[in-house]
Amino acid sequence: MLAPVLKKYGSIFAAIAKASFIAEIEFRLNFVMKIINDIFWYAAQIFTFEVLFRHTNLIGDWNLQQTRVFLGVLFIVDAFYMTFIQENLDRFSEKVRKGELDLLLTKPVNSQFMITFARISVSCVGNLIIAVSWFVWSLSQLPDFNWMKGLWIILLVPTGFAVMYGIRFSIAAMAVVFVRVDSMQYVWYQLYRLGMRPDSIYMPWLKFILLTIIPVGLIASVPARAVLNPPELWVFAWSLIAGPLFVAFSAWFWKQCLLRYQSSSS
């Protein structure tokens, strides 16, 4: 029952990946610049903390070596986000305005799947290589690091990514109801920015909110904490629940939005 469905979506995904690659290399300057942009972004994040740690030994409760690990986790999750969903969800509001959603809804595939993976940013695959390299290097800089703890990452990075996707998709889905939600996506980036800093810098009440109600703290801080600090089991358990929960919520929310959809192409 599940196998044919997986096969069908797997083949659609493969076709999309192939088409995306061809489309991206068509404009080579743009393709190269996209890769350079991401390197710039990583460099800016790293440079910021390297400069700040010239003037302090701790930010929150992490030192420079630990913050580098946090950045490694952040880069890995971000690489997944950039590769698979960023471009598609950023442009979704425009698609609704231009009436392109109608065509998509008539196709015999899950509309949420098609919106999420309409195009894959192949150039961002390089980000993943850079991110993983940085992460492994940062772990190797930790004194007496137990590499078995690194296994937490395999579990917690996908859940962090799922939470990120759930929130981002739900925000994008609002375009179906409100049409112009460009600024909502900027609000998302501000929320994401909260998650781009170690959660230990925040006051306890804000940290609690960032781990529960708006759980952007699960994106990078919690996975990084899993490899750096003694395990906080309730946070890890919540992280494992929150991933599927937010994806399920996004699917439910999408259906609710579609009920209120008024076609704009006809």
Cα distance between residue 69 and residue 225, in whole Å: 9
- Residue 37 in contact with other proteins, rule: CB under 8 A: yes
Contacts with other proteins in 203-222 (CB under 8 A)?
203, 206
Given a contact cutoff of 8 angstroms between Cβ atoms, the answer to whether 76 and 128 are in contact is yes
Sole binder of other proteins in the list 14, 19, 25, 33 (CB under 8 A): 33
208's CB contacts (< 8 A; 6+ apart) are none
End-to-end CA distance of the chain: 37
Given a contact cutoff of 8 angstroms between Cβ atoms, the answer to whether 56 and 198 are in contact is no
Least distance between other proteins and beta carbon 92 (Å): 15
Cα distance between residue 154 and residue 198, in whole Å: 20
Q: How many of the other CB atoms lie within 10 Å of CB of 226?
A: 23
Query: Quick one: 9 or 21, whose CB is closer to other proteins?
Result: 21
State the Rg of the chain over Cα: 19
Sole window of 7-15, 50-58, 223-231, 253-261 interacting with other proteins (rule: CB under 8 A): 50-58
Least distance between other proteins and beta carbon 13 (Å): 24
Question: What binding mask, one character per residue, do residues 166-205 give for other proteins by CB under 8 A, x or -?
Answer: --------------x-xxx-xx-xxx-xx--x--xxxx--
Question: What binding mask, one character per residue, do residues 55-94 give for other proteins by CB under 8 A, x or -?
Answer: xxxxxx----------------------------------
Least distance between other proteins and beta carbon 54 (Å): 7
Sole window of 45-53, 169-177, 243-251, 253-261 interacting with other proteins (rule: CB under 8 A): 45-53
Query: Quick one: 159 or 170, whose CB is closer to other proteins?
Result: 170
128's CB contacts (< 8 A; 6+ apart) are 76, 79, 80, 83
Query: Quick one: 217 or 243, whose CB is closer to other proteins?
Result: 217
In one letter, which amino acid is 191? L
Q: 3-state SS string over 139-162?
A: HHCCCCCCHHHHHHHHHHHHHHHH
Given a contact cutoff of 8 angstroms between Cβ atoms, the answer to whether 96 and 7 are in contact is no
Least distance between other proteins and beta carbon 22 (Å): 14
Residues that bind other proteins (CB under 8 A): 27, 29-30, 33-34, 36-37, 40-41, 43-44, 47-48, 51-52, 54-60, 180, 182-184, 186-187, 189-191, 193-194, 197, 200-203, 206
